[in-house]
Amino acid sequence: MTHITPTLKDCELLDQLDPLRNLRHQFDLPSGVIYLDGNSLGALPKSVPARVAQAVTREWGQDLIRSWNTAGWFTLPQRVGDKIARVIGAKTGEVMAADSTSINLFKVLAAALHIASTDHPHKRTIVSERSNFPTDLYIAEALCQERGLTLQLVETEDIPAALQADVAVLMLTHVNYRTGAMHDMPARTAQAHAQGILTVWDLAHSAGAVPVDLNGSDADFAVGCGYKYLNGGPGAPAFVWVHPRHIDRFWSPLAGWWGHAATFAFTPDYQPASGITRYQCGTPPILSLTALDCGLDVLLSVEPLGGMAALRQKSLALTGLFMQLVRTQLHGQGFGMATPTQEDQRGSQVSLTRAEGAYAIVQALIARGVIGDFRAGDGGQQPDILRFGFAPLYLGYADVWHAAEQLRQVMASGEWRDARCAHQHAVT
């Protein structure tokens, strides 16, 4: 497909030959919609409504509080965590499904800073990318203000030079939320460790979309969310992972009763549980965990078909196809490519830039049934972005062709200039 623009017939043939094509049938996708926003909110697995209804009507409605025992509610965060472990290179018992990404980041960043200051009191700086997801930067900024530390924000290319002797933690998102650019986790971690620096990884745009090997990369801490490529539903619980060498060195800064060594002993003093269980805090959200559990079952159903390697191969093919169609079919329309073209440097999304009308173009596409999203620039180095996520579990090659064709028609017709497309919604 490098030199000849693929036709719709070409893409339909690829769909017929795709060994993952039947996974799409496990999702409830509306007809007439091409969903390219799974990097923000995954699609609904068909198994979720009945399973959650069972949790509501039978487990909650009939068995009531007994379901903590009879339905296994008490161990659900660990069991869901064990499923997540299978797609992020962690081992059984190393991952806990709990809380939100922001809260889990606070926990592990506080833990990393404590360990770093204990081992090396002179290390008082957190390094991160200026383009990192804002909530990650906010959490780091708040911790630095509280502890009198320094948060140093740098451009991606300046990360190696920033890893100086006073740095305690390197905090990065594996796949950048705006551009889709992906870090080499093993290489970045090795760079940090060579300077005695701990690493904290945010896997929000990685887990379930690209292969991740936390143990193989020798990472220190990781967090991620359950509602993007894990298809756990809006506000689904997040997850937390800590390398075994660090796991028992620090209390969670949110020392809640579910992280206690004996949750129902009700002692007045806190005794942390061993292992990842101590990174729980309050009562887990059972209905949300139930939905996430279904999403993970769909994701893990790809294991007999090649697992994450097979998903990655399809993801690269889908994103590569879209990039090629944009280059050939939308040449001269003012679009730039924010996502790296090199396969080993991108996640599972394609981000386009445009100096004018990016938001309105996305709205025009949505009106045509092609759902992506928009991320505003800063008026300087970061331009406005049209963002398209490619979830290989439920997207096909013909979907990509039709999406590019709809974008071509939006630009050719000029309909994005209509006033209705400029209306600003609360969520973009």
Closest by CA to 185, choosing from 207, 166, 167, 165, is 207
Which pLDDT value is given to residue 3?
60
Closest by CA to 293, choosing from 86, 92, 79, is 79
Q: State the Cα–Cα distance between residues 156 and 276, nearest whole angstrom.
A: 31
Domains, the chain, with CATH or none: 8-45+307-422 (3.90.1150.10), 72-300 (3.40.640.10)
Contact 301, 23 (CB under 8 A): yes
Closest by CA to 388, choosing from 351, 358, 354, 353, is 351
Closest by CA to 139, choosing from 173, 183, 115, is 173
More confident residue, 382 or 153: 153
Average pLDDT over residues 408-416: 95
Q: How far is CA 211 from the centre of its chain?
A: 12
Helix (H, G, I), strand (E, B) or coil at 261: coil
pTM: 0.95
Q: State the Cα–Cα distance between residues 339 and 322, nearest whole angstrom.
A: 11
Q: Decide if pLDDT at 2 tops 60.
A: no
Average pLDDT over residues 95-109: 97
Non-local CB neighbours of 36 within 8 Å, separated by 6+ positions: 370, 371, 372, 388, 389, 390, 395, 403
Phi, psi of 153 (to 5 degrees): -105, 130
Confidence grade of residue 305 (pLDDT, cut at 50, 70, 90): very high
pLDDT digits (tens, 9 = 90+) for 114-152: 999 999 999 999 999 999 999 999 999 999 999 999 999
pLDDT digits (tens, 9 = 90+) for 348-391: 999 999 999 999 999 999 999 999 999 998 766 788 999 999 99
Q: Decide if pLDDT at 1 tops 50.
A: no
Q: State the Cα–Cα distance between residues 59 and 52, nearest whole angstrom.
A: 10
Percent of residues, the chain, with pLDDT higher than 70: 99
Contact 398, 11 (CB under 8 A): yes
Between the CA atoms of 335, 336, 342 and 344, what dihedral angle is there, to the nearest 10 degrees? Answer: -90
Q: State the Cα–Cα distance between residues 178 and 197, nearest whole angstrom.
A: 26
Contact 240, 253 (CB under 8 A): no
Confidence grade of residue 156 (pLDDT, cut at 50, 70, 90): very high
- By residue count, the chain amounts to 428
Element (DSSP H or E) covering residue 173: strand 167-173
pLDDT digits (tens, 9 = 90+) for 202-235: 999 999 999 999 999 999 999 999 999 999 999 9
Handedness of CA 207, 211, 215, 219 (dihedral sign): negative
Return the active site residues: 133, 202, 227-228, 387
Which pLDDT value is given to residue 321?
98
Which pLDDT value is given to residue 379?
67
Closest by CA to 276, choosing from 326, 214, 230, is 214
Least confident of 141-145, 247-251, 375-379, 392-396: 375-379
pLDDT digits (tens, 9 = 90+) for 30-53: 999 999 999 999 999 999 999 999
Phi, psi of 357 (to 5 degrees): 80, 15
How many CB atoms neighbour CB 196 within 10 A? 14
Contact 231, 299 (CB under 8 A): yes
